[in-house]
Amino acid sequence: MKKVVEAIKKYRRFLVTAHVNLEGDSLGSQLAMKELLEGLGKKAYIIDNDPVPEHYKFLPGAHEVSNDLKAHVEFDAALILDCPTIKRIGQVKKVIGSKLIINIDHHVSNEKFGNINWVDARASSAGEMIYRLFKAMNRPLTKEAALYLYIAILTDTGSFNYDNTSSVTHEIVSELLGYGLDPALVSERVYERRSVSDIKLLGLALATLKVNKKGDVAYVEVTKKMLKEANAEAPKSEGFINYPRSINKVKVAILFKEGGKHKGDIDISFRSKGDVDVNKIASHFGGGGHMKASGCVIKGSLAGVKKRVLAKIEEMLRG
């Protein structure tokens, strides 16, 4: 962290980015980082591979996120947030080129790809790390920054339900709420602005639920056909995996998803309950994440990919 603070003091212009498929933590931590940099009189440009999801467009800084990968921005260093691997920033890598990279992340699988790496797997979220950066640099929070950090922590802790939630998390959140945030309103904006087709897609996905013989592995799938049927443009399946995970005795939940950006890719998410390390499973297939939440992408047919993944999980569970 000391090196990050030094670099922020030293340089003047920063490109800020995060992983593809923006969500609460990647978006919130980037916007808060921009507030911090601008408060210090620095220039900050947020460039991401993917657009701001519809339900986050209410954030005051949402319009400051650019997807212009050909933008000619002058910057001295790139701040990469919430990314375990450099690959996860997608096409933004081309914009960064050979510039200095500062990697700030809380994924246990982080590959330390930066020139400066601040990785803290005990942090609940990248947002929590940016909060600590404000404190380390003696910078006051703004109401906007408090909102961004609150959303980052709220979403990455599963609304303070996952075991990355601690008394420290609540202390930070208590301070953030002191800036006049309205938690009920934030929750409604973040979680209750789904479209009818989102819910139809959830119904179709839940109908595919399967559980293994032992009853400790449960999985659902989202296919291209379902996307059409639900009239869903993109596979918006945030939160679907919580349903198989919520089943009694299930230790590993999986979501298999077709219809991602690259043809022939199956996107896979893993969640675990208890002491199964799903980061290990995802890492085996070239992905990564956290002990209880991870993901990977495998090329192949849905049936073939499912077979491979399920066999690996059985092997890991049964040794």
3-state helix, strand, coil split of the chain in percent (to 5) is 40, 20, 40
Applying CB under 5 A, does 156 fall inside the site for Mn ion? yes
Region from 33-41, 152-160, 220-228, 265-273 binding Mn ion, contact rule CB under 5 A: 152-160
Distance CA 182, CA 274 (A): 33
Q: How far is the CB of 82 from Mn ion (least distance, A)?
A: 4
Q: Count of residues binding Mn ion (CB under 5 A)?
A: 5
Q: How far is the CB of 24 from Mn ion (least distance, A)?
A: 8
Residues in 214-233 at the binding interface with Mn ion, rule: CB under 5 A: none
- CB of 198 closer than 8 Å to CB of 232: yes
First to last CA, the chain: 39
Q: How far is the CB of 124 from Mn ion (least distance, A)?
A: 8
Residue number of the CB closest to Mn ion reads 25
Distance CA 155, CA 127 (A): 10
Residue 48 vs 156, nearer CB to Mn ion: 156
Q: How far is the CB of 155 from Mn ion (least distance, A)?
A: 8
Q: Find the largest Cα–Cα distance for the chain.
A: 60
14 CB contacts (<8 Å, ≥6 apart)?
8, 37, 42, 43, 44, 45, 75, 76, 77, 78, 79
Residue 16 vs 227, nearer CB to Mn ion: 16
Q: How far is the CB of 89 from Mn ion (least distance, A)?
A: 14
Residue 83 vs 252, nearer CB to Mn ion: 83
Distance CA 154, CA 187 (A): 9
Residue 194, class by beta-carbon neighbours within 10 Å (0-12 exposed, 13-18 middle, 19+ buried)? middle
Region from 125-133, 175-183, 204-212, 273-281 binding Mn ion, contact rule CB under 5 A: 125-133
Region from 12-20, 75-83, 159-167, 303-311 binding Mn ion, contact rule CB under 5 A: 75-83
* Beta strands per DSSP E along 106-145: 116-119
DSSP 8-state assignment for residue 301: -
Residue 121 vs 247, nearer CB to Mn ion: 121
Residue 50 vs 82, nearer CB to Mn ion: 82
Q: x/- contact string, 161-180, with Mn ion (CB under 5 A)? A: --------------------
Residue 259 vs 287, nearer CB to Mn ion: 287
Binding residue for Mn ion, selected from 35, 48, 50, 82, defined by CB under 5 A: 82
Distance CA 5, CA 254 (A): 39
DSSP states along 92-139: HHHHHTTSEEEEEE--TT----SSEEEE-TTSS-HHHHHHHHHHHTTP
Applying CB under 5 A, does 25 fall inside the site for Mn ion? yes
Region from 18-26, 114-122, 128-136, 214-222 binding Mn ion, contact rule CB under 5 A: 18-26
Count CB atoms within 10 A of the CB of residue 319: 5
Residues that bind Mn ion (CB under 5 A): 25, 82, 125-126, 156
